Amino acid sequence: MQDSLMCDKSKYSDNWETPPEFYKHVLPLVKDYPIWEPFVGVSHRSTKAMLELGLDVLETPNDFFEQIKEWPEKDGKPRLLLSNPPFSQKFKVLEALVEAQADGKVKPFIILLPSWVYASATFRKLVVRTKIKPQLFIPALRLNYFSSQDGLQKKATSFDSTCICYGMEGEHWETNLCYF
């Protein structure tokens, strides 16, 4: 594993790392996909958790907004982007993910965000403008994130986390809402 070039320790809200139990919850949805982790944390916690579950994960240590111009593929198919993006750039990331679909080739993604983002005016306008059909995965647990500074897990995170998804297929996606 390489060190991420993008570890900006100055933005407090950007560097919280995902607890490994999240990946156990999302596993039924993603087990058949090769994965792309573009937002590598300081400790590679997310990649390690995915590898431990037997997933095929490619980390990219580069600037996401450059890397997305060449969405990583496996066997000619776009990998599934599964990540927890830097909070301060959430709308820029969402916009880039949606814009990446403009050539008509589906590039699936699952991104973990505070649940309010899905209902925000900014995301609603993006959906209306681009006519994208988002999906939503609601994990059945309150996620308590790890600090990248001291490695400790926060005890009582004050918000619920939800995944905005796109292009996901399989038995769990009879509708665009998925709870479990």
Ligand X SMILES: C[S@@+](CC[C@H](N)C(=O)[O-])C[C@H]1O[C@@H](n2cnc3c(N)ncnc32)[C@H](O)[C@@H]1O
Q: Does 16 bind ligand X (CB under 6 A)?
A: yes
C-beta of residue 137 within 8 angstroms of C-beta of residue 178: yes
- Within 38-57, the residues that bind ligand X by CB under 6 A are 38-39, 41-42, 45-46
Nearer Cβ to ligand X (65/180): 65
Handedness of CA 120, 122, 123, 124 (dihedral sign): positive
Residue nearest to ligand X (CB): 41
Task: Report the C-alpha gap between 69 and 13 in whole angstroms.
Answer: 26
The identity of residue 31, as a single letter, is K
C-beta of residue 56 within 8 angstroms of C-beta of residue 74: yes
Cα distance from N-terminal residue to C-terminal residue, the chain: 31
Nearer Cβ to ligand X (7/132): 7
Nearer Cβ to ligand X (5/169): 5
Nearer Cβ to ligand X (113/168): 113
Interface positions with ligand X (CB under 6 A): 4, 6-8, 14-18, 38-39, 41-42, 45-46, 63-65, 83-84, 86, 89
